[in-house]
Amino acid sequence: MKRFLKYFLIATLLVISWTVVSFFSTKNGWMHESITQQKTSKGYIQAVKEKIDEQFVGNFALAIMNNGVIESEVFDSKGKVVDRNTVFQVASLSKWVSAFGVMKLVEQGKLDLDAPVGKYLTRWQLPPSEFNNDDVTIRRLMSHTAGLTDGLGYSGFKPGVPAQSIEASLTKASDADEGISGSVHVGIEPGSAFNYSGGGYTLLQLLVEEVSGQSFASYMKETIFEPLNMKHSSYSWADSSSFKLAEFYNSDGTKAIHYRYTSLAATSLYTSLSDLEVFFQVFLKGSTNEQIGRNVLKPETIKMMRAPAAKTMGMDIWGLGTILYTTTENGDYVIGHDGRSTPPINTAVRLNPETGNGIIILETGNPMLATTLAAEWVFWKTGKVDLTLFTMHKDDMVSMIGKGWLAIIALTIIVGIVRRRKKKEKL
């Protein structure tokens, strides 16, 4: 019995050690190979072009920023030519920009981040739950910690199909992604865990309309886009617009239709590479306060947006509307957001506020290329694995842990059997 306990304890210690090593190996990229060994942006861009040639991409626009200044831009298209002013629908990247608009209302004293969201709503309320709905605050909605379990995911509405009202969508989104109920409700204790919620941002959209007295699109245009001179950006799209809209593609290379959304704040910002370059610069640390926030938000508000507000696996992963991809040398965060929808739209921004270095990628026709290339840029530039690259390798990590456990258990059993036989032979 003592021998069994001894082997059990040894095996347990080895299993724990192997799990820790596997986790940190993945987290630190010890077995990940950089997209290029060249140290210049030219080398990275060459690697990007090779990736584009290997797989289908409908439209592609990329900007590399160095010290807050545009260093390089890259464009590719299978149909109509795209440029820095071509408008893309950017999927969930919309949330980052929407959060910026919410924070303006906070600065103006019209919203309290820690007040119950229901305090400001008259047109719709969260349905009763086993939890206290008053714990669903604006801060928690922005950081996906409000306890909402909708799992949305919006597929949008086809041309000619009227979009739902916000209230109807919150009650049950008829354009919810397949397999999702589409009901926005509190399913876990608010503040207890991170749980990504598209419905939470649709609720914030309603909040902005109620507090501002304007449509969400009008509020964002007048309060954010016009002051920042983001002249190609809007949460609504008119087919008569004089701006050029990037064509939509399916993964097989066929043309896709243009879906419209009720969930504007969550998934339906229209913007261009040139406008996102401006938005990028809003978050940089400058020598004067005027350089931060471009006089639209105060420096302390900008800093608040990237303060950790949600964790997973012990890692800080979310601020107020922005993803915290990895830490910087001085303990700040590489921030930004990704967007992904079907038909494939994939967008990504990575931004180091300290150095002004970053990348912006907008593309259609490929479900993960922008996210992959942005994560690869972080690893290439900093040697760190960002949140999305870690997620991409998570299945490999779990497989490595499982194989290690099996090997340790098998080896422990074999050693135990061999030693027992030797002891019998001596007797």
Q: For residue range 119-146, what is the model confidence (pLDDT) as tens digits?
A: 999 999 999 999 999 999 999 999 999 9
227 and 80 in one domain? yes
36 occurs within a structural domain? no
Cα–Cα distance measured from residue 120 to residue 145, given in angstroms and rounded to the nearest whole number: 19
Q: Are residues 410 and 371 in the same domain?
A: no
**Same domain flag for 11 and 125:** no
Q: What is the mean pLDDT of residues 343-370?
A: 97
Residue 240 included in any domain = yes
Q: What is the pLDDT of residue 411?
A: 83
Within a domain: residue 34? Answer: no
Shared domain check, 202 and 302: yes
Residue 12 shares a structural domain with residue 143: no
The confidence score (pLDDT) of residue 286 equals: 66
When comparing pLDDT for 408 and 88, which is higher?
A: 88
Range of the domain at 120: 41-389
Residue 355, pLDDT score: 93
Indicate whether 203 belongs to any domain: yes
| 21 within a domain of the structure (yes/no) | yes
What is the per-residue pLDDT for 290? 45
Whether pLDDT at 239 is above 80: no
Q: What is the pLDDT of residue 288?
A: 46
pLDDT of 293 > 90? The answer is no
In this structure, the answer to whether residues 96 and 225 fall within a common structural domain is yes
The reply to whether 270 falls in a domain is yes
Ranges 34-43, 72-81, 202-211, 247-256: which has the least confidence: 34-43
The CATH number linked to 151 is 3.40.710.10
The predicted structure's pLDDT at residue 335: 97
pLDDT of residue 15 exceeding 90, the answer is: no
Contacts of residue 323, Cβ cutoff 8 Å, sequence gap at least 6 = 96, 317, 335, 336, 337, 338, 387
Are residues 72 and 206 located together in one domain of the fold?
yes
The pTM of the full predicted model, rounded to 2 decimals, is 0.92
- Lowest mean pLDDT across 272-281, 356-365, 413-422: 413-422
- Of 103-107, 299-303, 369-373, 412-416, which range is least confident? 412-416
Indicate the pLDDT class of residue 238, thresholds 50, 70 and 90. confident
- Mean pLDDT lowest among 4-8, 159-163, 226-230, 351-355: 4-8
Q: Does one domain contain both 381 and 404?
A: no
Domain membership of residue 286 (yes or no) is yes
Q: What is residue 292's predicted lDDT score, i.e. its pLDDT?
A: 62
Report the pLDDT value the prediction gives residue 408, as an integer from 0 to 100: 85
Q: What would the mean pLDDT of 289-301 be, rounded to a whole number?
A: 75
CB 211 within 8 A of CB 112: no
Residue 366 and residue 412 in one domain: no
Same domain membership, residue 138 and residue 251: yes
Across residues 53-72, what is the average pLDDT? 96
313 and 407, same domain (yes or no): no
> In the predicted model, what is the mean pLDDT of residues 333-361?
96
What is the pLDDT of the chain when averaged over all its residues? 92
How many domains in the chain? 2
Q: Are residues 46 and 121 in the same domain?
A: yes
Q: Is residue 35 part of a domain?
A: no
pLDDT of residue 22: 82
**Averaged pLDDT, 281-288:** 76
